[in-house]
Chain A
Amino acid sequence: FADLAGMAVAEDIPVEGEITVPVGAHGPDEDHSTLDEPVRDTIMRDLKAVGKKFVHVMYPKKSSALLRDWDLWGPLVLCVSLALMLQGGSADSKEDGGPQFAEVFVIIWFGAVVITLNSKLLGGTISFFQSLCVLGYCVLPLTVAMLVCRLVLLAGSGTVSFIVRLIVVVAMFAWSTLASTAFLADSQPPHRKALVVYPIFLFYFVISWMILTFTPQ
């Protein structure tokens, strides 16, 4: 200790610096904290994401937007609007009418879950919610078909209107199936693609059947 006692810090060596480390966000994130932004910006951002996905469904190209940034807002909006539009059918007898709101809801969501489970059990590499997202968004063409059908039915419900509705529903059914197959096909194991696509076909067929057989009071 005698050696250490003899040493002294020279006066002319500058010793400086901060002892305390500044606390706070650094990096680019500190400008994008979403807590302080106006509510309108938050809502618009989500709406724009949903709208972008709608566009991707109508023009199915190989894009990863639907898969990577999945969300379930779009499917929820589509499902609720489709189920609402399927109401107001022949409800004179509670028994033999069209599907109730809850039935449409259950068919769409339960059907999508079952198809996703089926694809995962067969060895697919897509995640659960990504698949739900794609299947839900691809109901968009059928929702458009339902809208067109209701408008056509306002004009009349004869044979001509039935043929127009049939053509529209068939075209949108094909569009839905092809769009969802385009997004989901790559993640399936090679020899089982048909096994995965068939339930998707059945799912959209059932929804199309519900749309086509809608008869107003």
Chain B
Amino acid sequence: MAAADELKFREFDDAATLLAANPDATTISIEEPAEPRQKQHGRRQEPGREEDDELLGTDDSDKTELLAGQKKSAPFWTFEYYQTFFDVDTYQVLDRIKGSVFPVPGRNFVRLYIRSNPDLYGPFWICATLVFAIAVSGNLSNFFIHLGRPTYHYVPEFRKVSIAATTIYAYAWLVPLAVWGFLMWRNSKVMNIVSYSFLEIVCVYGYSLFIYIPTAILWIIPQKVVRWVLMMFSLCLSGSVLVMTFWPAVRDDNRRIALATVGTIVLLHALLSVGCLAYFFDAPEVDFPAPIVPAHNGTTLVTK
């Protein structure tokens, strides 16, 4: 009797054979870490949706959460735990730097380059290089600006290295902490499609600071206009990387909060560059008109 047969319990076939019989069936796979297979699933997408997915990260946001959880499986007091943050090759670091300097409109830096493998190598050493680039360039530019003045005695200004280090490292670590905290708080109120882990935000900020290294070196040129043009240019480049990263994370939120968040991120970035330019690089002075200088020297000699 058909009814009795249907009510009888049947063993299910092996998942593979069932899938072979019906390839389009929805499947759930709960497995041990099998990262290469999951990454391939993420990449086999319809090509039309790819651009949106790159920006939103919907293609592999679930899997990236899984992968992020699986990577840090060593307990935090072992050395291997920290080695997972340095799991990058030279070409990967160079690719990430290239992606931060040439931001492609519409491409999300985190999804495109970091892909759930945030590293701490880039942020740490880019910040270290930036600290010394700013200190050395500032010192050199001051030297060239004041070179002709007879009363000028060159000083290496070593204090400024510690000030630069404090500023840059505080910016590169505390601001991502604040942004991450804010995004987590908003996530609890409004369900966002995209969310970033703390390390990914640190990574974005670290790599976005790379453009300031050549900018700082070019700031040696003692022309005000040149310096401001350079600053605007680098601010646009690195700001756009940050905006394109964080806009998808907040755009589902209240319009004003989203705009305020992105605006604050750009404002802090601008403050950093303006502050560095103002503090470490003296203003290029207008040349003294020639007759005044000998008179000044003359009066000092007389009074002495």
Q: Report which A residues bind B (CB closer than 8 A).
A: 89-90, 93, 95-100, 103, 118, 120-123, 191-195, 198-199, 202, 205-206, 209-210, 213-215
List B70-100 residues whose CB lies under 8 Å from chain A. 79, 82-83, 85-86, 88-91, 93
A96-B159 CB under 8 A given contacts A195-B90, A199-B125, A213-B139? yes
B139 proximity list for chain A (CB < 8 A): 213
| B89 to chain A: closest residue by CB | A191
Supply 15 further A-B pairs (C-beta < 8 A) apart from A90-B156, A199-B128, A215-B154. Answer: A90-B153, A90-B155, A96-B158, A98-B156, A121-B83, A123-B86, A191-B90, A191-B91, A192-B88, A192-B89, A195-B121, A206-B132, A210-B156, A210-B158, A215-B155
Instruction: Indicate whether B129 reaches chain A with its CB closer than 8 angstroms.
Output: yes
Cα of A89 to Cα of B153 in the assembled complex, Å? 12
* The one of A121, A191, A195, A214 that contacts B85, using a Cβ cutoff of 8 Å: A121
Q: Which residue of B lies closest to A93 (CB)?
A: B155
Chain B residues, CB < 8 A from A89: 156
The docked-state distance in angstroms from the alpha carbon of A209 to that of B154 is 14
Docked CA distance A191–B86 (Å) = 13
The answer to whether B132 touches A202, judged by C-beta atoms less than 8 angstroms apart, is yes
Residues of A within 8 A of B162 (CB): 103
B62 interface residue (CB < 8 Å to A):
no
Q: Contact: B156 with A213, CB < 8 Å?
A: yes
- B65 adjacent to chain A (CB < 8 Å): no
Cross-interface CB contact of A97 among B90, B129, B155, cutoff 8 Å:
B155
Interface core residue of B79, B82, B86 (most chain A CB under 10 Å): B86
By beta carbon, the residue of chain B nearest A197 is B90
| Bound CA–CA A184/B162 (angstroms) | 29
Which B positions have Cβ atoms within 8 angstroms of A? 79, 82-83, 85-86, 88-91, 93, 121, 125, 128-129, 132, 136, 139, 153-159, 162
B121 touches A202 (CB 8 A): no
> Nearest Cβ in chain B — how far from A94, in angstroms?
9
- Which chain B positions have C-beta within 8 A of A215? 153-156
Q: Given A121-B83, A123-B83, A202-B132, does the pair A192, B90 have CB atoms closer than 8 Å?
A: yes
**Docked-complex contact A103 and B121, CB < 8 angstroms:** no
Report the separation of the CA atoms of residues A98 and B160 in the bound assembly, to the nearest whole angstrom.
Answer: 11
The residue of chain A having its C-beta at the shortest distance from the C-beta of B135 within the complex is: A209
Residues of B within 8 A of A192 (CB): 88-90
What is the distance, in angstroms, from A169's C-beta to the closest C-beta of chain B?
A: 14
B128 adjacent to A202 (CB under 8 Å):
yes
Nearest neighbor of B94 in chain A, beta-carbon distance: A194
12 A-B pairs whose Cβ atoms sit less than 8 Å apart in the complex: A93-B155, A97-B155, A97-B156, A98-B156, A103-B158, A121-B86, A191-B90, A192-B88, A195-B90, A195-B93, A198-B125, A202-B132
* Residues of B close to A95: CB separation below 8 A: 159
**Chain B proximity of A144: nearest CB distance (Å):** 21
Chain A residue at smallest Cβ distance from B143: A213
Whether the Cβ atoms of B93 and A209 lie closer than 8 Å is no
User: Across the two chains, which residue of chain B brings its CB closest to A212?
Assistant: B156
A214 to B155, CA, bound (A): 8
Bound form: Cα–Cα A170–B129 in Å: 19
| Residues of chain A lying within 8 A (CB to CB) of residue B153 | 90, 215
CB-based contact A98/B86 at 8 Å: no
Contacts of A103 in B (CB 8 A): 158, 162
Q: Which of B79, B85, B155 has the most CB of A within 10 A?
A: B155
Please give the distance in Å from A48's CB to the nearest CB on chain B: 35
* Min CB gap B203→A, angstroms: 15
In the assembled complex, the CB of B149 is this many whole angstroms from the nearest CB of chain A, namely 16
Taking the closest CB of chain A, its distance from the CB of B139, in whole angstroms, is: 7
Min Cβ gap B63→A in Å is 25
